[in-house]
Structure 1
């Protein structure tokens, strides 16, 4: 589809404000693919990107009377789409059970990842989270959570008791979880891992 000129876009926005569905459809055709690409990058999930794209254009339709035709609709749509993603992250951040499930899925998936940018980003995130750990917690976490050793095997390898390994894992998991959930961009990676399971 040819790129709209500023004049054409302004006229479409005026028509949209009057409730013309053809103007809405033209704007959708013009910007949906670009917005979808941005949402996919933020969520790493086709399903979430599809849903959030629809939400973005529903908001466009519902707020059509308040949109200033002299301003860029592209910027407005990107801002709405990104806000929808952040609202999703905030919702997840309030849901402790979902957080626990996402983190455990993330940790279990770490050692079974495939090549690619998505998995590289996931691995880099876990490595950065593990850098927050003390050497013994890091070793216990790696042996049990990543290498799949039992507590007894890890205890023997580390030369400590099973209860010490267990204690290190509880503390390490808490630190890793807190690190992962402090960033909305990082949350997108975790959500996508959950959805790919």
Structure 2
């Protein structure tokens, strides 16, 4: 048995040897108590260390403590709660960060594919016969209606429609080859 009142009084005066006696006596008690509340030994050790630091820092107030074991266990409970809250916040942060990284990488991949697709589309447009190219650009890039394109080029609306139909078929086939090639390259890169 240890004389708790004497130890608490000595610790209140800054006596490190008294604190060591208290520490050695209560370490296994607090560790067992914390081990029942936290999932790992290392977390229990962290709780004990935090509790003992609080006890040392509260030194001058310890002379008012009636039951040191209850006092230490109440500190341990608060430290366990703090540790669990911190662990939950960290896990939420990690989960959020992981989701954000996935979203960022997906957005980056989508941006890269969009840029590549636009490049391939522009290459395909450049391969169209001049009249089809002109009609396509006016309809899809300048957002003109078939009637407006027909009036500007001095051709019939039916001719505009025919040029657009041929241009779109060519571009679909051209981009389909690109998509198939892209999928093949993805498979090869992931081997």
TM-score, normalization: structure 1? 0.45
Structure of larger gyration radius: 2
Q: TM-score, normalised by structure 2?
A: 0.46
